[in-house]
Amino acid sequence: MNRDYDYMFKVVLIGDSNVGKSCLLIRFADDCFTENYITTIGVDFRFRTMTVNKDTVKLQIWDTAGQERYRTITNAYYRGSDGILLVADATNRKSLDNIPDWLSEIEKYTDDEVFKMLIVNKSDLEEKTEISDDDLKKFSKLHGVPYMWTSAKSGINVDDSFLKMTQSLISKRELDEESGHKSKTGKKGTKSTLEGSNLFRNAEKAMNEKETSCCNN
């Protein structure tokens, strides 16, 4: 079966409720922003195809609910992930303090080699910021996780965050290939995104049929 992409990666957004995961997803996938987005219950998803170094990359991006009571639903979606974007809210210090708990969940349900990045949303609200760049540097050094400031509202660094992650995933695949190691994240994507493709094909079909966008609200 011919495919219209060179790589396919599964990406999951996780973090506390109300940090702006859904808004980041919609900004990246649909390039729009809404102040009145309804809190995700369970899981939402979007697809976006992008060109990285002449390669066509298809991202399957999953937005998990941050509320504790829904974690039994979203745990299944961690499995097979290629990249995890941990989201904190610049105006809520507790959302950063809770990231280690999310890292613990990642260790339970994902491959050790999964790429992780911390993105701090709502950086446009400078007067309300409770997190400093020094805080993030310390966090990054302690946990070995790179970080970026972002704003779903203004779009600052949203595309760059996904691009940096995607470049890292491709680079890892190439290094594994050169060393003769069969990478979990290979050309055409992961085992989970291909062999378990019924879920994703159905999801994509549903998205195409709905053709919904926050920009149309």
- Residues 6 or more apart whose CB falls under 8 angstroms from that of 8 comprise 57, 58, 59, 60, 188, 189, 190, 193, 194
Beta strands in the chain (DSSP E): 7-14, 43-52, 55-64, 83-89, 115-121, 147-149, 185-186, 189-190
- List the domains of the chain with CATH numbers: 7-216 (3.40.50.300)
Q: How far is CA 37 from the centre of its chain?
A: 18
Residue pointed to by tokens 């290094």 = 175
Q: What is the pLDDT of residue 214?
A: 46
CA separation for the pair 89, 152 (Å, rounded)? 11
> How many other CB atoms are found less than 10 A from the CB of residue 106?
19
pLDDT for 69: 64
Q: Average pLDDT per run of 10 along the chain, which is 217 residues long?
A: 83 92 91 71 83 92 75 75 95 97 90 91 96 97 97 95 94 78 50 45 50 43
Gap between the Cα atoms of 30 and 17, Å rounded: 21
* Contact of 52 with 170, CB cutoff 8 Å: yes
pLDDT at position 36:
65
Q: How confident is the model at residue 28, as a pLDDT?
A: 92
pLDDT at position 130, please?
98
pLDDT of residue 110: 87
Half-sphere exposure of 101 toward its Cβ, with a 13 Å CA cutoff? 12
pTM (two decimals): 0.81
With beta carbons less than 8 A apart as the criterion, state whether 183 and 126 touch: no
